[in-house]
Structure 1
Amino acid sequence: MRVKSLDKIRIIAITLVVLVHTSAQWISYGNMDLVYLTEFSNIISFVGVGLFAMLSGALTLSPEKKVTVKSAVKKAFHFLFLYFFWKGFYLCFDRIIAGEIGVSDIKPLILSLIRERGYYHLWYLAMLFWILLLIPLIKKGCEEKKVCELYLIPFLLLSVILPAAAYFDYPFRYTVSDFVTNLEPLYYAGYLGFFILGHYLYEWNTGWSKFKKLSVTAAAVIIFAVFWINSVGRSLDAGKMFTDFSTPFNPGCVLLCVAVFICIADKKKKTGNNSKEIELYERLSRGAFGVYIIHPLVIVFLSKGNVVGTLLPNAWGIPVLLLIILIISYAISLILNLIPVIKKLMG
């Protein structure tokens, strides 16, 4: 059964993920006259990355979802296959665009599957592979609220708060910075923290009054604004865009992820009253993974058609380009999902 609230979050998440690569065009362009809008768009877009990981956790770690070792391994290797398939697809695409594809290029192409990182957005598939392999190990423990908190507290402290604190001035700033650098919490806690956080908020999202939800949302907006304005100031001082706060682990982004979940996710409401509304959310939600896979293609063609170049000097260019990419990507995704063989490669 579809969960309408999670479909809503998935639509928000894919919109923001596409915004990551849309705003990146303005980051590269480096027009300091648009620094406020560029920094805002680029930082807030990373909320989508966290939301996607949280959605995966909410769905996979749910006690109602029966997961065996076999099913978890099968799902994990499905995403590993998708990673290499789409990595190969984009490697071929790049070479075709460059006019470098031929019989003699087959061997280097195969080697590139192993030796090169692939397109910039495909890392998420590899990340899912590793996290899904952990599911049989952690699922039972995650059924207990206190066990989840045992992981989430150090995750938030070491992966979110302390790394951000290293950017601000106070007496022992460099001690904190060295501690975080040497501990490397993102390598160990990282996206698994978002995975468990999504499950935690979805499973125990009860007792939140409107006032509490509003308070969390207000706090998220204020903290996000602190990092946004600070990033703008650093950009203006350096004369180029500052991107260190463009990460899902930015405290403002993490709090916005939490706010979205507690305000929208509702485990008790599986569907809504309006069947047409449900169908719309479901279609857009089902097409989200396809949008994630193919939107870089759309960006390439829009760049070659000078659409991106035309929009770059304008403040309204970011939302316009985002809308164009989403419409084209969704149209392609929904059409391709009608083909059974390709549908399996789209999620």
Structure 2
Amino acid sequence: MIPLNEKSKNRIQIIRAIAIISVLVIHTVGQSPYELYIRPLVNFGVGVFLFLSGFLTPRIEDVKVFYTKRILRVFIPYLVWSLLLCVVYGDYQDLAWNLLTFQESSIYYYIFVYLQITLLVPILWKLLDARYYWLGLAITPVAILVEVIWALTGHYLIYPRNINNCLVWISFVYLGMLFRRGIIRIHGRYQQWSIVMGLAMFLEVLEGKFWLSFGREDFATTQVKLSSMFVTGCVCVLVFFYITGLHKDEIYTEKGSKKEIFRRIVISIGDASFGIYLVHPLVIYFLRHNTGFLFPLNTILTLILTYLCVWIGQRICGKKLGRYLGFY
């Protein structure tokens, strides 16, 4: 088990901040003519969150306690914010069904994926100790390949159905578990993997153009293309380098400096990332219906407003109530 010190924990929050900002970009870039070129830069967000989840998953002593803690931690805030969205939308038709199937807001598909994977974590733990442990890394590529074949045969994968299946994400959780326990080791240096990631992003643009040439906009920018997942895998490797200090860039160390202040702001965004995720569908809805702001201004405003909502919510509700709202 790789130990985590205070620096590592702060770096994890910085990565969370970057990941949540990438998610905001994904959900606000849709009207930009450059979406095809922007999405490869940010499609890693969800995969990185799941990688961190696996990286931080402790060995399970009591399955019942593990399930209760992890499921309630996300499901109660999901219900609260979904009900609030329902009131704002003014649409109460099929409310119970939409809540149970995570369809009140398609953006909340991540919670559905997270809960599916949570139920499978005990199985992943057993797989870690198996002779053919590497099979866990093959689940996501195989699942995406099936979706690609399905798309090439002319079938459409309607969002979020193409990404709310945990099989297209679970290998990132498993990769985090493997890295944390030192079961697999990374060859190469930080700089070399950065170059590989850049080339992979270029391939993702090419794959996007390929799908557009077939009139398949649904696959052109999606996070669940083969090239997108390869990019996310590279990003996860770089995240591992960064968290464990295997890179050489020791920045933002001088107390009181502008860099240190910026680092603290970024860490605070990482601390608030779950709350930002829960609040941002409501903020996006407000901005779309009350402003004419386009990307990237809409992304910046969404980040600022969602962070302020979480910050204010923390101070009004306190930790006990704030946990039920996803503010902590």
Q: Which TM-score tier does this pair reach, normalised by the shorter chain?
A: 0.7 to 0.9
- Structure number with bigger Rg: 1
Aligned-pair distance for 1:289?
0.8
Who is 2:11 aligned against? Answer: 5
Who is 2:69 aligned against? Answer: 75
1:139 alignment partner, SS class = helix
RMSD across aligned C-alpha pairs, in angstroms?
3.6
Which digits, 9 at most, give the CA deviation of each residue in 1:179-210, with x for residues without a partner? xxxxx999573222221122224443755442
CA contact (8 A) 1:43 1:245 kept: no
Aligned-pair distance for 1:40?
1.9
Who is 1:331 aligned against? Answer: 308
Inter-partner Cα distance in structure 2 for 1:320 and 1:275: 31
Inter-partner Cα distance in structure 2 for 1:231 and 1:132: 31
Name stretches of at least 5 consecutive residues in structure 1 with no aligned partner.
Answer: 27-33, 168-172, 179-183, 312-317
Distance 1:83 1:147, change over 3 A: farther
CA contact (8 A) 1:159 1:249 kept: no
Who is 1:133 aligned against? Answer: 119
Inter-partner Cα distance in structure 1 for 2:198 and 2:61: 37
Q: Which residue type is aligned with residue 74 of structure 1?
A: T
Name stretches of at least 5 consecutive residues in structure 2 with no aligned partner.
Answer: 156-161
Inter-partner Cα distance in structure 2 for 1:319 and 1:307: 12
Q: Which residue type is aligned with residue 197 of structure 1?
A: L
Which digits, 9 at most, give the CA deviation of each residue in 1:100-129, with x for residues without a partner? 7xxxx7x97556545772112112112222
Inter-partner Cα distance in structure 1 for 2:231 and 2:322: 34
Inter-partner Cα distance in structure 2 for 1:275 and 1:195: 35
Which digits, 9 at most, give the CA deviation of each residue in 1:127-155, with x for residues without a partner? 2222212223332443x486541211x32
With normalisation by structure 1, the TM-score equals: 0.72
1:345 to 315, 320, 325: 325
Who is 2:159 aligned against? Answer: none
Inter-partner Cα distance in structure 2 for 1:227 and 1:282: 29
Q: Which residue type is aligned with residue 72 of structure 1?
A: F
Distance 1:255 1:9, change over 3 A: farther
Distance 1:90 1:214, change over 3 A: same
Query: Which 10-residue stretch deviates more, 154-163 or 2-11?
Result: 154-163
Who is 2:106 aligned against? Answer: 120
Who is 1:296 aligned against? Answer: 281
Matched, 1:263 2:238: yes
Who is 1:322 aligned against? Answer: 299
Matched, 1:222 2:204: no
Query: Aligned residues, how many?
Result: 300
Who is 2:158 aligned against? Answer: none
Who is 1:158 aligned against? Answer: 142
Who is 1:192 aligned against? Answer: 170
Inter-partner Cα distance in structure 1 for 2:112 and 2:191: 36
Tell me the percent identity: 19
Distance 1:114 1:288, change over 3 A: closer
Q: Which residue type is aligned with residue 237 of structure 2?
A: I
Q: Which residue type is aligned with residue 344 of structure 1?
A: Y
Q: Which residue type is aligned with residue 286 of structure 2?
A: F
Aligned-pair distance for 1:233?
5.9
With normalisation by structure 2, the TM-score equals: 0.76
Aligned-pair distance for 1:232?
3.6
Distance 1:262 1:121, change over 3 A: same
Inter-partner Cα distance in structure 2 for 1:197 and 1:115: 27
1:246 to 217, 221, 239: 221
CA contact (8 A) 1:9 1:264 kept: yes
Aligned-pair distance for 1:74?
0.9
Q: Which residue type is aligned with residue 308 of structure 2?
A: A
Q: Which residue type is aligned with residue 93 of structure 1?
A: V
CA contact (8 A) 1:47 1:256 kept: yes
